[in-house]
Amino acid sequence: MTVTNLRPNLDNWQERVDMAAAFRWTARLNMHEGVANHFSLAVNDDGTRFLMNPNQVHFSRVKASDLIEIDANDPETLKGPNAPDPTAWGLHGGLHRACAHARCAMHVHSIHATVLACLADSRLPPIDQNCATFFNRYVIDENYGGLAFEDEGARCAQLFSDPKQKVMIMGNHGVLIIGQTVAETFNRLYYFERAAETYIRALQTGQPLRVLPDDIAEKTAQELETYPEQDERHLSELKSILDDEGSSYAS
């Protein structure tokens, strides 16, 4: 019997398992921020109820049964005994209230994406296939206003007005990735960090960049968007590795 068969009596169990695997692998890749940062996943039709990591728990320890369920429309949320991190509530609550298409959201301060967010010009030019994945598919927040409490979270959510744009480069802050599923969103998070690393390392050489023409970059982005099952296979393989190691993520 694998670890993933040991399921407590909780709703949305498979989604919880997927979320926990994403937390564990994000920690393994050193894309976490200690006990900060947060992921969420909508579990009702309008997206206003969502699963989220518990307050101040390290990503490497999150289990499927640990995830808390939040009502984005409940103003008493932060007063409860199992209240989320206030900035997690502000950013993700604002996002799930305003953007029904953002079923899953992952916010991290991963090194290379955050370096990109710290540049005066935070654009990601299509210098390789990974970078081309995000051609015309991100938005840059140029107006960081401090910690993502409710007003700041609501402001950020408004920037996701174009459903084509599923990455927010949060100037002076980090990155926020959205998607329909955990697998899709984690896959996008992983490859955005890889793309940002390639760009930052290319800048460090001081040599001229080989930038793809716009038409080839767009063609590449479209081809990758329709590449069959890559995101699901990616997360499935990560769960298999965790299972083989006897990880507690799916408990």
Report helix, strand or coil for 210.
coil
pLDDT tens-place string over residues 4-60: 445 566 899 999 999 999 999 999 999 999 899 999 999 999 999 999 999 999 999
pLDDT for res 77: 87
End-to-end CA distance of the chain: 13
Q: In this structure, are residues 8 and 63 in contact, taking their beta carbons and an 8 Å threshold?
A: no
Ordered alpha helix ranges (H), 48-207:
86-98, 111-118, 129-132, 150-158, 182-205
pLDDT at 148: 74
- Determine contact, residues 98/158, Cβ cutoff 8 Å: yes
Residue 209 CA from chain centroid, whole number:
28
pLDDT for the residue numbered 181:
97
What residues does each domain of the chain span?
3-244
pLDDT of 80 reads 77
* pLDDT tens per residue, range 131-142: 999 999 999 999
CATH domain 3-244 topology: L-fuculose-1-phosphate Aldolase (3.40.225)
List the chain residues with pLDDT less than 70.
1-9
pLDDT computed for residue 7 by the predictor: 56
Whole-number Å distance between alpha carbons of 23 and 13: 15
Contact 215, 134 (CB under 8 A): no
What is the residue type of 209?
Answer: L
pTM: 0.94
Q: Residue 9 has what pLDDT? A: 66
Query: CA-to-CA distance for 136 and 123, rounded, in angstroms?
Result: 10
Could you tell me which of 145, 147, 46, 33 has the C-alpha nearest to residue 88? Answer: 147
Here the tokens at position 176 are: 């926020």
Looking up tokens 């991963």, which residue turns up? 110
pLDDT of residue 171: 96
Question: For position 4, what pLDDT does the model report?
Answer: 46
